[in-house]
Structure 1
Amino acid sequence: MHRVEVYLKPHLPDARGLSLVKDIQDLGITTVTAVSVADIYWLDGELTADRLELICRRLLADPVTQDYRLSPTDIKPDKQAHTVEVAYNAGVADPVEDSIMKALRDLAVSGVRGVKTAKKYLIRGNLGSRQLEMICGRLLLNPIIQHIVRPGQPIFPQNPGYSFRLKQVDILDNSGLLEVRKQFDFTEDELKAIITYFRQEGRKPTDAELETLFQTWSEHCVHKTFKGSIKLGDQTIDNLLQSTVMKATEELKKPWCLSVFEDNAGVIDFDGRWALCFKVETHNHPSAVEPYGGAATGIGGVVRDPLGTGLGAKPILNTDVFCFAPPDFPYRQLPSGVLHPRRIFKGVRAGVADYANRLGIPTLNGAILFDERYLANPLVFCGTLGLMPKEMAGRGQQQPGDLVVVVGGRTGRDGIHGVTFASEKLTEESSAASYSSVQIGNPIVEKKLIDVLLQARDRKLYRRITDCGGGGLSSAVGEMAAETGVHVYLEKVPLKYSGLTYSEIWISESQERMVLAVPPDCLDELLELFASQDVEAAVIGQFSHDRRLKLLYQGKLVCDLDMEFLHHGRPQLKRQAVWQPPRPPAPGLPPPPA
């Protein structure tokens, strides 16, 4: 294994370090005089000295602004120099690692099995252990996805293997029902419906079936509160969404509304030849626990929505609205487990900017609001406008026998339970347990995916497309196959690493993935096109005609759900509304003159 440290040349100012000095001063620590930041790369492989020098000079270091060394600096520990190295946790995807591996292939360098990265911070100043701990916890790392590298820790931990074992849950038994209540946030009515269904099926549900129902019936995926029955006094509002926004749109019935409330985004006619596709969504909870990654994947996800609408729109511009607590909010008043608004602000802005810039999509407008009520619950709205030929605005429809093809990024543990995490109340406990709910984005993969998908669209190589976002394959494939049925072979899904269970493969919300319905006679041309652009494409199943969702893993059936129950069997949520008329304070008028 080889360790490479890349650092700025001594005569250049360290912008990252200077920014950290200011942030440390904002914490009330005034004894830090300087911070320098270096990038660390570990290369797992057997490399000759010449090959290693080639990698450092041509790939890892900028010869104009940076130098590199192949061994760590020997800094004697004292009260004036503190070294901290921060790396990603095991299982967290780092896009830089993928880019380096791709570049090594382009340089014809073989023998490197893996790459890991880290940041090294050299902090100079008189600091106590508690002050250093505060700097690390509040500025240098996010424990959701990162850790401090300690001596003796393995740099390349082995991913555990997975041996298949079908897990069934006895929901008729008290202990089994208790497990379901603990793991899944079903309402009591939903639990009753699930118990009734499996009684009729005459068997116990599998974990994959419960996960599928949990994702499909989540607030994020189905908007069950907006679709619920809300009673206010003697008045009952049945399906708030349908009786307000949808009702007004349907009553107006404008001819230029080409696709509304039926696809991943709304589509309107622009000039008779072209159509505009628009979508806005929030990424609040993920941005609260991991601001950079949460916001980056927010913009990455909303960009894929127009791409997955109709037969595919080209994303051309973004818009963003951010709501944060004041960036000068006192640290001493910050609740435990909550990131400081300044850190959230900087991370969200950087995440949206970095992801969109790497896609080449400009942000043309937006807004920002500050209010203390956004503490611990920032609002991060991301929107994208797409352009498509008018005749491609309607949603496609697959045929039984068409192939299920997943394209783009690989599947990992990042993003597991993301939609259910986004549907729940954010607490200190949920934040601590949410490390796998935050997706990690790779905009370079998405950029290549966008370009090649538009070529496939114009060649008419698929009948239908959707983005693989909230709920992962569970939502994307499950919704696509609602009117037909589908058989999915989970072991065929390309993985980032080994060790994922069949359920994790199915519900993972790893980014940069789309799902296509491809006629068998178009498959070879589609696979050849994607391979030519270095974008992965894999056949993972086939649409059927039995209106059942069937998942198999290594030939074993792990899920078999009726589509009617999956999409229409959820009991309607019932809520009682309470409204109290406002009571303005009595005006403080002076008493009338005597």
Structure 2
Amino acid sequence: MAASWSEIVILPRGGQPGPGLRLMVPELADEPAAQRALSAFVDPVTEVGGVFSAWGTTTSGEGADPSGEVRADGSGQRLYSVGPLPGVTDAIAKTALDVLADLSLVSAADAAGAQGYAERLRVEADVSDPEARLASLFNPLIERGRISSRADVWRYSGEAPPSVRLAGDEVGLVLEVDLPEDDEALLQLSREGIPGPEGKGRGPLGFQLNDLHAIRDHFHALERKPTDIEIETLAQTWSEHCKHRLFNADLEGAEGGLFKTFIAGATRRVRAARGADDICLSVFSDNAGGIVFDDDFLVCDKVETHNSPSALDPYGGAMTGVVGVNRDCLGFGQGARPILNRYGFCLPHADDPSMLYRDRAATSALPTARGLIDGVIKGIEDGGNQSGIPTPQGFLFFDDRYRGKPLVFAGTVGLMPRRLPDGRDATVKGTQPGDAIVMVGGRVGKDGIHGATFSSVALDETSPATAVQIGDPITQKRLSDALIDELRDQGLIRALTDNGAGGLSSSIGEMAEETGGAEVWLDRVPLKYPGLSPWEIWISEAQERMSLAIAPEHVTAVIDHFAARGVEATEIGRFTDNGALVATYDGRRAMNLDMAFLHEAPRLSLPVAPAPAIAADLVEPDLPERGACLLAVMAQPNLRGRTPLIRRYDHEVQAGSVLKPLQGQGAVHGDATVVRPLLDRPGAVAVTQALFPRLTERDPYAAAVNAVDLALRQLIAAGAPLDRAA
């Protein structure tokens, strides 16, 4: 941590309302250094800037405008400051430090260690309820906010950036966990989590009762108690989020499970029927699915939901959704370049006044309906625009029943050569015993803990704030460029995968299936701040982090390649073939799990109830005059134009836009868009979607059939051939 600090403040020029910024950075050396920093950050036409340090003040333009103060009658301007809580990703500060390091104004070490802090400022005039306005500007789960004035920030405060201060009592601490014979006590353990040294549960584990019985029996047979990190690993691996256990459960009429019977089974039958015309190259076996683009390239596709995280933090939930599926494409085969993003929102109406809470005492509020809408839209915007990936396609659907838990879909399409320069099939990757485990990207912190188990249970007062993260798209863009532009085609990577909702536990646990084991050295994992315990290091997710399998002789070259891109890479273990997943801390064993047991969660068996009969006595409503009826229908939120939303999402970056999201003379949103990913050859990718939420309530089968039918018709209308649809 730097010993002293400079504060860079940017405000609207001329005392006008508007946005601003306050940066806390390692102390700038002198006035010339401060002027160079202001030149980099301040727009002299619309902004005024100042650098405030212990040695003095440097400004660009006029100083603080005295008219920007709160008057005696309470009117006048107020300044709202919002910044991340300690430990939450601060992408603005990190980017600012990178700029200052490029200008040689701060050290590379301070920039790499993210030694800084950023507060977003907003100057507004004559707000009737300033406290309510402040509450609408930030999410207390991940941010802090305050009300002040221009004069409060236009000076040297002498403050240090807020930082995480952990007691450090659990550094290196590995606990043994008692698994009681009483079923209710077992379920309490699942709901509340493993008690820490202070006796409080760490957060939900999401186990079923038969899971806990299986775990207890397994460790009884081993004649030892499980450690906390072993229980956390099983919870992550067996979670609904990671294992899709409901889709794989035995059901009457689908004993192999919904997935194997109706999804994988249907796909298998279609592929067999198409024979030589089959366009599928990789399905149900990797981070995304891959189909033929042309003789030389393939495209992959991945869509997932981020519903629970978005209910707590709409911005972070949506952003981590889109950058997460970006990484799924990066982790497909030997690595695919993301060429477009997609989105989908099922949200409450913006004017819904209801307030919802996570607890019965009504002390922990969920975001307002307006805050939920604004947050998810902004999250997809920043996740795509800042990554240089176009976002041409999506949908928006309103119903107040999504007030408590929205549906937030994020999707990415990637492009990859079918063969690498050395002739290998680019969809094939394989970890080998002895390969080094290299972690690349963001450091590990408390944010992101219990993401998998939290997403697998109902939202309530025990839902941990640490499960919600803020992504860092710019770091991920650097990671993506290093992977795709350099390492993939040089053949330096054996295998790679995203650090999913379980962090290192998720990625390394999956990759170790191929070799039959792994050993991880948790004390070597780079941390955002000291004080994390072994189990936290192991299961904490990071939005811009991946795990790689690298042949030992290539480790140094790979780490150097990433360093040249400003991305941190660290060797943290080895893949083995001894049948065990092992983790150590300072040479002491913290985990020793049998690989077969880890990846064989007990199957669920669920009852099946007949679908309710569809009422045949539907009454046709009395309709007003046709013109008034048409106007009323057109005024419905689900039929209105989405131009303001679409224009926020950059669909022109990468220069491949063909059929754009706003179409026709009236420039209304279309049902499908077309992107040309390779400008030097013919061929394009058409994308669309369809859903019928209200029909789903009455007849899910009919809703699914209609959705597939409508999506195919929309693709055909956009010019896509039916035999190339997937």
Output one character per residue of 1:117-150: Cα deviation in whole Å (capped at 9) or x when no partner. Answer: 11334443374xxx4332222x111011111359
Aligned to 2:471: 441
Q: Which runs of 5+ in 2 are unaligned?
A: 53-62, 149-156, 194-204, 273-277, 420-424, 621-726
Q: 1:164 aligns with which of 165, 172, 188?
A: 172
| 2:232 matches 1:211 | yes
Does the CA contact (< 8 Å) of 1:171 and 1:180 recur in 2? no
Matches within 5 A, 1:342-353: 342-353=370-381
- Figure out how many residues of one structure are paired with residues of the other and give that number: 554
Equivalent residue of 2:513, what SS? Answer: coil
How far 1:302 moved relative to its partner?
Answer: 0.4
Aligned to 1:476: 507
Equivalent residue of 2:116, what SS? Answer: strand
Equivalent residue of 1:552, what SS? Answer: strand
Output one character per residue of 1:164-200: Cα deviation in whole Å (capped at 9) or x when no partner. Answer: 2221112147698454552122111000000011111
Output one character per residue of 1:349-379: Cα deviation in whole Å (capped at 9) or x when no partner. Answer: 2221222112211112211111112112111
Q: Take 2:393 and 2:442, find their aligned partners in 1: how far apart are those partners? A: 29
Q: Take 1:587 and 1:307, find their aligned partners in 2: how far apart are those partners? A: 50
Aligned to 1:17: none
Does the CA contact (< 8 Å) of 1:413 and 1:510 recur in 2? no
| 2:30 matches 1:41 | no
Does the CA contact (< 8 Å) of 1:547 and 1:563 recur in 2? yes
Does the CA contact (< 8 Å) of 1:445 and 1:512 recur in 2? yes
Q: Take 2:127 and 2:448, find their aligned partners in 1: how far apart are those partners? A: 40
| 2:368 matches 1:371 | no
How far 1:76 moved relative to its partner?
Answer: 5.4
Aligned to 1:182: 192
Matches within 5 A, 1:99-498: 99-110=95-106, 114-125=115-126, 127=128, 131-137=129-135, 139-149=136-146, 155-157=161-163, 159-160=165-166, 162=168, 163-172=171-180, 177=186, 178-183=188-193, 184-231=205-252, 235=253, 237-254=255-272, 255-329=278-352, 331-332=353-354, 337-391=365-419, 392-427=425-460, 429-430=461-462, 433-454=463-484, 455-484=486-515, 485-498=517-530
C-alpha distance 405-157 of structure 1, shift in aligned 2 (>3 A):
closer
Q: Take 1:126 and 1:461, find their aligned partners in 2: how far apart are those partners? A: 58
How far 1:312 moved relative to its partner?
Answer: 0.9
Q: Which moved more, 1:393-402 or 1:116-125?
A: 116-125
How far 1:224 moved relative to its partner?
Answer: 0.5
Q: Take 1:412 and 1:564, find their aligned partners in 2: how far apart are those partners? A: 29
Q: Which moved more, 1:511-520 or 1:335-344?
A: 335-344
Does the CA contact (< 8 Å) of 2:21 and 2:120 recur in 1? yes
Q: Take 1:425 and 1:180, find their aligned partners in 2: how far apart are those partners? A: 13
Give, as a single letter, the amino acid of the residue that structure 1 aligns with 2:390.
P
Q: Take 1:274 and 1:179, find their aligned partners in 2: how far apart are those partners? A: 49
Give, as a single letter, the amino acid of the residue that structure 2 aligns with 1:461.
L
Equivalent residue of 1:10, what SS? Answer: helix
Equivalent residue of 1:245, what SS? Answer: helix
Q: Take 1:469 and 1:300, find their aligned partners in 2: how far apart are those partners? A: 11
Q: 1:80 aligns with which of 75, 96, 109?
A: 75
Give, as a single letter, the amino acid of the residue that structure 2 aligns with 1:80.
S
How far 1:482 moved relative to its partner?
Answer: 1.3
Q: Take 1:100 and 1:583, find their aligned partners in 2: how far apart are those partners? A: 59
How far 1:332 moved relative to its partner?
Answer: 4.7
Aligned to 1:20: none
C-alpha distance 397-563 of structure 1, shift in aligned 2 (>3 A):
same
Does the CA contact (< 8 Å) of 1:144 and 1:434 recur in 2? no
Q: 2:610 aligns with which of 553, 573, 579?
A: 579
Output one character per residue of 1:231-266: Cα deviation in whole Å (capped at 9) or x when no partner. Answer: 4xxx56331111111111122335421111111000
Query: What is the TM-score of this pair, normalised by structure 2?
Result: 0.72
Output one character per residue of 1:29-86: Cα deviation in whole Å (capped at 9) or x when no partner. Answer: xxxxxxx44311223437434433332x133322232102356967457422444432
Q: Take 2:51 and 2:557, find their aligned partners in 1: how far apart are those partners? A: 46
Q: Which moved more, 1:524-533 or 1:279-288?
A: 524-533
Give, as a single letter, the amino acid of the residue that structure 2 aligns with 1:40.
R
How far 1:583 moved relative to its partner?
Answer: 5.5
Does the CA contact (< 8 Å) of 2:344 and 2:408 recur in 1? yes
Task: Report percent identity of matched pairs.
Answer: 38
How far 1:587 moved relative to its partner?
Answer: 6.4
Give, as a single letter, the amino acid of the residue that structure 2 aligns with 1:160.
L
RMSD: 2.5
Matches within 5 A, 1:3-22: 3-10=7-14, 14=17
Q: Take 1:471 and 1:126, find their aligned partners in 2: how far apart are those partners? A: 43
How far 1:328 moved relative to its partner?
Answer: 2.2
Does the CA contact (< 8 Å) of 1:263 and 1:395 recur in 2? no
Give, as a single letter, the amino acid of the residue that structure 2 aligns with 1:119.
R
Query: What is the TM-score of this pair, normalised by structure 1?
Result: 0.87
Does the CA contact (< 8 Å) of 1:483 and 1:547 recur in 2? no
C-alpha distance 534-122 of structure 1, shift in aligned 2 (>3 A):
closer
Q: Take 1:587 and 1:495, find their aligned partners in 2: how far apart are those partners? A: 61
Does the CA contact (< 8 Å) of 2:432 and 2:514 recur in 1? no
Does the CA contact (< 8 Å) of 1:284 and 1:377 recur in 2? yes
| 2:588 matches 1:546 | no
| 2:51 matches 1:51 | no
C-alpha distance 69-355 of structure 1, shift in aligned 2 (>3 A):
same
Q: Which runs of 5+ in 1 are unaligned?
A: 15-35, 590-594
How far 1:9 moved relative to its partner?
Answer: 1.1
Does the CA contact (< 8 Å) of 1:321 and 1:381 recur in 2? yes
Q: Take 1:161 and 1:237, find their aligned partners in 2: how far apart are those partners? A: 50
Q: Take 2:455 and 2:527, find their aligned partners in 1: how far apart are those partners? A: 24
Which structure is richer in relative contact order (CA contacts within 8 A, separation 6 or more)?
A: 1
Give, as a single letter, the amino acid of the residue that structure 2 aligns with 1:425.
A
Does the CA contact (< 8 Å) of 1:87 and 1:149 recur in 2? no
C-alpha distance 469-583 of structure 1, shift in aligned 2 (>3 A):
closer
Does the CA contact (< 8 Å) of 2:448 and 2:542 recur in 1? yes
Output one character per residue of 1:440-466: Cα deviation in whole Å (capped at 9) or x when no partner. Answer: 111111111111101201000011111
Q: Take 2:550 and 2:483, find their aligned partners in 1: how far apart are those partners? A: 13
C-alpha distance 126-189 of structure 1, shift in aligned 2 (>3 A):
closer
